[in-house]
Amino acid sequence: MGKLDGRVVIVTGAARGQGEQEARLFREEGAEVVVADVLDEPGEALAKEIGARYVHLDVGEEGAWRAVVGAAKDAYGRIDGLVNNAGILRFNSLVDTPLDEFMRIVRVNQVGCFLGIRTVAPELEDGGTIVNTASYTGLTGMAAVGAYAASKHAIVGLTRVAALELAPRGIRVNAMCPGAIDTAMSNPAQLDPAADAEETARALDGLYRKLVPLGRIGRPEEVARLALFLTSQDSSYITGQPFVIDGGWLAGVSVI
C-alpha cells in the first residue's frame, strides 16, 4: 500500500529539481500527479515516464491556474493535494535591486503561492493538503537575496493564515523551509553541459562542509520525503507550521 493511494496531487515547478523528485515519489506512493511547469519539454517527458499528466502553468498567471484545476479534474475527477514548489532566485544587494527584478521574484514565489492556494483550496476534497515551499530564508535573513527572502517570509505568513482558514474543512497547510539543496537553483552548473559535474560537486561539498553542521548540501530527494510526510496521513495532526530541512544550518552559530 502506498501512502498516497487514491489521492490526486498537483505539483508546481515539477519539471526538474525538488518538484521532479516530489512528483516521482508521490507516484511511487500511489498518487495521481499533475506535473505543472513553464518548462514544457522536460515536464512532458517526466509526466510520460512516471505516468502523470503534464500541464503548462505559469504560477503567476491567474487564468492559467483555473486551467490546471480543470485539467486535474477532467483527468482524475478530484484534487486532494497541492505542492506549491515553483520558485526563482536572483542575487542582488537590496540597494541594487531594480523594482522589476523585485516584482518578478514576488510574482512567481509569493503571488504564485497565493494564487495556488486561492484557486485550488475551494476545489480540494475535505481533508486535503497544501504544502508551500518557502526556504530557510523564509525564517532568517541572508545577504544578497533580499527580494527572495521577502517572498519566502510571505509564504510562511500565507501558510499560517491558510491553515487557520481551511482547518474547518480538515485541510492542512504547511511550509517547507529547505537550506541549500543540490538543484539547478543552488548549483547552476547542472544546466551547463560544458561544466565538469565532478569538479562542481567537489567545490560544493567543500563549501557546505564548512557551512552546514551535517557537512553537505541537501538532496532534492530528501525534500521530497518531507513533502510526502506533509501530504500524507503521517502528519494528520500538523498544520500551519514551517519545517526547516537544512542539515542543521539554522540550529545556531558554530564556534567549533
Active-site residue identified among 54, 76, 148, 208: 148
Cell of 100: 522589476
Q: Is 76 a catalytic residue?
A: no
Q: What are phi and psi for residue 18, nearest 5 degrees?
A: -65, -40
Q: How far is the CB of 196 from ligand NAD (least distance, A)?
A: 19
Q: Which of 4, 46, 72, 86 binds ligand NAD (CB under 6 A)?
A: 86
What is the rounded distance in angstroms from the CA atom of residue 168 to the CA atom of residue 105?
A: 32
Binding map of ligand NAD across residues 153-192, x = CB under 6 A, - = no contact: -------------------------x-xx-xxxx------
Q: Which of 71, 85, 163, 230 binds ligand NAD (CB under 6 A)?
A: 85
Binding map of ligand NAD across residues 40-59, x = CB under 6 A, - = no contact: -----------------xxx
Binding map of ligand NAD across residues 196-235, x = CB under 6 A, - = no contact: ------------------------x---------------
Cell of 238: 500538523
Cell of 189: 552548473
Q: Does 22 bind ligand NAD (CB under 6 A)?
A: no
Q: Does 116 bind ligand NAD (CB under 6 A)?
A: no
Q: Which residues are at the interface with ligand NAD (CB under 6 A)?
A: 12-13, 15-19, 37-39, 57-60, 85-89, 108, 133, 135, 178, 180-181, 183-186, 220
Q: Which residues are catalytic?
A: 148
